[in-house]
Amino acid sequence: MTLPKLAAFDFGGTLFIDGKFSRFDGLEGLRRAALNPGAVDTQMLCEQMEDIERRAKGGLPENNGSRVEIRLQETFRNLLAVSGLRFPFGLTQCELVFDAANSTRRKTPYMSELLAYLARRGIKTGVISNTVLSGEAMKAIVDRWYPGNEMSFVYTSADFLFCKPSPDMFHAAAKTAGVKPEECLYCGDSLDADVAGALGAGMQAVLYDTAGARGCEMRLKGGKEYTAVGGWEHLIAMLEGL
């Protein structure tokens, strides 16, 4: 590994440890935030949302094996209008209300310390995530949990259409940061989406593998080298030595 000029991170499983997800709870929270919550019941909202997603996914093609993302804002644009619910705020806030009620999460250990270390060394940071959330909504979540972070960008597959391991978001990250792909380090918890995507885009890759890695380990995927870490404190120590 060489010292990067940009370090980008996955969201769930990397910046955060996700708990349970409940679509019903998310839609219940969203319905209760409406100006007219009695317009529809939550179970009906769940059924309508599932129907929208089923119809939308049936019409989405694969692009060289890449999964195409359905944007939550567009799903909500349809769902909330058809259900008759009215809100005193826009679709981005609807995403945030849904997310807060739908999921539980906590920061991964030593992530705050890692972000602070990168900032001290002048290494740019950003987020690249496969998610239905917009980048605007995800940035608001990251800012709430990691106040004072210096993320240069927050890219989501919802905004870019194609999911990792497609190279689109990786290429955009390097362009935005004004660095070469090989000067970028991407950290995630998925071998197929994160490591394969980063390596395929010419970046250095780190796999967050608390179950299998002890300290920092060099591994190979498709003949290309990447790093596996058992905790973010080990990545800090590794970067300190570069």
Among all chains, which residue has been given the structure tokens 């945030």? 96
**What pLDDT is stored for residue 66 in this prediction?**
67
Q: Which residue has the tokens 């998610």?
A: 131
CA–CA distance, 94 with 100 (Å, rounded to integer):
10
Which pLDDT score is estimated for 61? Answer: 59
Task: Look at residue 67 in the predicted model and tell me its pLDDT.
Answer: 85
Q: Is the dihedral angle over the CA atoms 132, 136, 137, 138 positive or is it negative?
A: positive
What pLDDT sits at residue 21?
94
pLDDT for position 58: 80
pLDDT given for residue 65 in this prediction: 55
Ramachandran area for residue 202 (φ above 0: left; ψ -120 to 50: alpha; else beta): left
**pLDDT for the residue numbered 223:** 96
pLDDT tens for the 242 residues of the chain, in order: 999 999 999 999 999 998 889 999 999 999 999 999 999 999 999 999 999 999 988 866 555 556 889 999 999 999 999 999 999 999 999 999 999 999 899 999 999 999 999 999 999 999 999 999 999 999 999 999 999 999 999 999 999 999 999 999 999 999 999 999 999 999 999 999 999 999 999 999 999 999 999 999 999 999 999 999 999 999 999 999 99
